[in-house]
Amino acid sequence: MTQAAAVKAPTLPDAQTVLSVQHWTDRLFSFRVTRPASLRFRSGEFVMIGLMGDNGKPLLRAYSIASPSWDDELEFYSIKVQDGPLTSKLQHIQPGDQIILRPKPVGTLVHDALLPGKRIWFFATGTGFAPFASLLREPQTYEDYDEVIVTHTCRDVAELEYGRRLIEEIKADEMLAELMGDGFADKIRYYPTTTREQSPRMGRITTLLEDGTVFRDLSIEGGIKPETDRAMVCGSLAFNHDIKAILEGFGLREGANSEPKEFVVEKAFVG
């Protein structure tokens, strides 16, 4: 997947060099950049990245780091908004180009913000999959939990491809198996759904949770339980709001770094 590129001397403040770019659809792409030697982060956190604006000032946006904390490089999974101030330009980056990366990671989708449990749910829509691309490659995920359920809801099948392929690669990777421990791959249960294009599983994950389809499909008796189940949520504001209500209906409480509880939520974008 990576296409090596010559690393140029930095010319921007907090500059990092683009190493590879992959376009998934006309609205989605992923890319890898060099990692600042000083950057430490917890898998699931986000940073500010961007380009120099036409006015000579940095144009920055929040981005989840899609790679795990142990990776030598940084990966990002991005939308392309045609008239978006940043992504109308960012979508054209090439290996060897530079981006700005402020090395101050923050975020709530971290293991520290959850109380111990047996099963963790990652609920994503669209590019909200990005923090889970990091956490799915984080050994602690498999040390802490017996089961990892990943739901990803997108409009079309093509929008699922980055996540589908990543999970397939994670499950087959021998080096990751060594890092994450025997049998880690069997803990992952992937549950993709589409809402506007025909696919094997249709419907919003919220509807499929409310009518019990998810639990029947995954043979989970009694639904989500506060004693055993933990959840991380990343999608649009409306999605986060609806999933939060469902999780609270099951008796789970929203946690934070300072006060770990049973679930945590983060916006995949504003607006």
Ligand X SMILES: Cc1cc2nc3c(=O)[nH]c(=O)nc-3n(C[C@H](O)[C@H](O)[C@H](O)COP(=O)(O)OP(=O)(O)OC[C@H]3O[C@@H](n4cnc5c(N)ncnc54)[C@H](O)[C@@H]3O)c2cc1C
Ligand Y SMILES: NC(=O)c1ccc[n+]([C@@H]2O[C@H](COP(=O)([O-])OP(=O)(O)OC[C@H]3O[C@@H](n4cnc5c(N)ncnc54)[C@H](OP(=O)(O)O)[C@@H]3O)[C@@H](O)[C@H]2O)c1
Residues near ligand Y (CB under 6 A) are 27, 125-126, 153-155, 195-196, 204, 206, 236, 238-239, 242
Give the closest residue to 77 by CA, choosing from 164, 156, 5: 164
**Contact (CB, 8 A) for 63 and 125:** no
Q: Counting contacts by CB under 6 A, is residue 271 touching ligand X? A: yes
Q: How many residues bind ligand X (CB under 6 A)?
A: 23
Cβ proximity to ligand X, 201 vs 267, nearer residue: 267
Is 130 a binder of ligand X (CB under 6 A)?
yes
Phi and psi based region of residue 96 (left: phi greater than 0; alpha: psi -120 to 50; beta: remaining): left
CA distance 168 to 176: 12
Closest contact distance (angstroms) between CB of 174 and ligand Y is: 34
77 binds ligand X (CB under 6 A): yes
Select from 24, 31, 41, 46 the one that contacts ligand X (CB under 6 A): 46
Cβ atoms of residues 201 and 209 within 8 Å: no
CB atoms within 10 A of CB 84: 15
Is residue 170 at the binding interface for ligand X, with CB under 6 A as the rule? no
Q: In this structure, what token pair is assigned to residue 63?
A: 């981005």
Coil vs helix vs strand at 40 = coil
Q: How far is the CB of 4 from ligand Y (least distance, A)?
A: 31
Nearer of residues 204 and 225 to ligand Y, judged by Cβ: 204
Choose the one of ligand X, ligand Y, none that binds residue 58, judging by a C-beta under 5 to 8 angstroms depending on kind: none
Single out the segment in contact with ligand X by CB under 6 A; choices: 36-44, 75-83, 172-180, 220-228.
Answer: 75-83
CB of 229 to ligand X, least distance (A): 24
- Residue 264 phi, psi dihedral angles, 5° rounding: -135, 155
Q: Which is nearer to ligand X, 41 or 184 (CB)?
A: 41
CB of 229 to ligand Y, least distance (A): 19
Among 79, 157, 170, 220, binds ligand X (CB under 6 A): 79
E strand map for 80-185: 98-106, 119-125, 147-154
Q: What is the dihedral of CA 33, 34, 39, 43, to 10 degrees?
A: 40
Tokens of 199: 């696919």
Site membership for ligand X, residue 61 (CB under 6 A): yes
Contact footprint for ligand X (CB under 6 A): 46, 61-64, 77-79, 81, 84-88, 126-127, 130, 266-271
